[in-house]
Amino acid sequence: MSLVVVGSVAYDAVQTPHGGVDRMLGGAATYIALSASYFSHVKVVAVVGEDFDPEDHRLLAGRGIDLDGLERRPGKTFFWSGVYSHDMNERTTLRTDLNVFADFEPRLPDSYRAQPALVLGNIQPSLQRSVRAQMNGVRLVGGDTMNYWIQDHRPELLETLRQWDFLLINDGEARMLSGAYNLRRAAEKILDLGPHTLVIKRGEYGALLFRRDGHFMVPGYLLEDVFDPTGAGDSFAGGFIGYLAGAGIYPQDGQIEFSELRRAVIYGSVMGSFCCEMFGVGRFRTLTRPEIDARYQEFKACTEF
């Protein structure tokens, strides 16, 4: 049983106060898949160009990720470059070259269709919906979106969200989607749109999980050094859904066991924190499951009272 991950695979250039990298593997599907691979079998659907480095293919395959759905097309891989503010809480996009991603039409290999869990990285809502429609008997579906789809493709996004179990977005997106500034009120409105579970990511300030019968709050893990926050939100998503999918935890009567959701949020936070420790996907080259479990326990020790 696998988790199907759909989204972008890209090359990124980033500048942070700790330095910069001109070209490194990135993209939402990459981070989600790498992060989730510590918890669950993962199958990726994405598109890359002719410039996709065999080394990067090996990195993903080396984590046991099924790449049958990684389409290779004439042209170049999606490229993004950005620069982070001094405190790394804001980033400015310098360049976005969609390249082969511009015509991305995710098509699931047959071996993907009957899998029980699906996570949709931030892509066009209608494409997210088309993927959902290609699955048979999927039991856990969720994903991410962004300001552009919320503002300019709202009806399409709302139709997509109706079929999701969970939505993972940041606080600014939650405010934009709901029209409410206060996050409790924003969450109430978003839970009316379809998902029974909402996770609001707050970067260094942690995360919030909402459902109708209550919420869960976790502070951000305190890193000694944040090298590069790129991919931290997607790594969070990978840890969150990866944990649920890997443990075979699906909604029953429209709800997931709250204690399991809490654990999933902590695993998400743990994976987001590891991601920031090196540039790009660097940390996933050496990260081990015992390190993840140790940080989970550290989270417990630092928040229990």
Nearer to a second copy, 226 or 245 (CB): 226
Q: Is 223 in the site for a second copy (CB under 8 A)?
A: yes
Rounded to a whole number of angstroms, the minimum distance from the CB of residue 118 to a second copy is 25
Q: Is 301 in the site for a second copy (CB under 8 A)?
A: yes
Nearer to a second copy, 259 or 286 (CB): 259
Alpha helices, DSSP H, located in the chain: 28-36, 54-62, 125-134, 147-152, 154-161, 171-178, 183-191, 232-246, 258-275, 289-303
Nearer to a second copy, 46 or 198 (CB): 198
Residue corresponding to tokens 């300019």: 152
**Beta sheet of 78-84, edge-to-edge order:** 19-26, 10-16, 78-84, 91-97
Distances in Å between the Cα of 131 and the Cα atoms of 52, 53, 107, 136, 204 are 23, 26, 7, 11, 32
Buried residues in 68-98 as b, exposed as e (16+ CB within 10 A): ebbbebebbbbbbbbebeeebeeeeeeeeee
Q: Is 212 in the site for a second copy (CB under 8 A)?
A: no
Q: Is 217 in the site for a second copy (CB under 8 A)?
A: yes
Q: Which of 3, 25, 28, 183 binds a second copy (CB under 8 A)?
A: 183
Q: Which of 76, 139, 153, 215 binds a second copy (CB under 8 A)?
A: 215
Rounded to a whole number of angstroms, the minimum distance from the CB of residue 105 to a second copy is 40
Q: Is 285 in the site for a second copy (CB under 8 A)?
A: no
Q: Which residues bind a second copy (CB under 8 A)?
A: 86-87, 181-185, 202, 205-206, 208, 214-220, 222-226, 259, 262-263, 265-266, 300-305
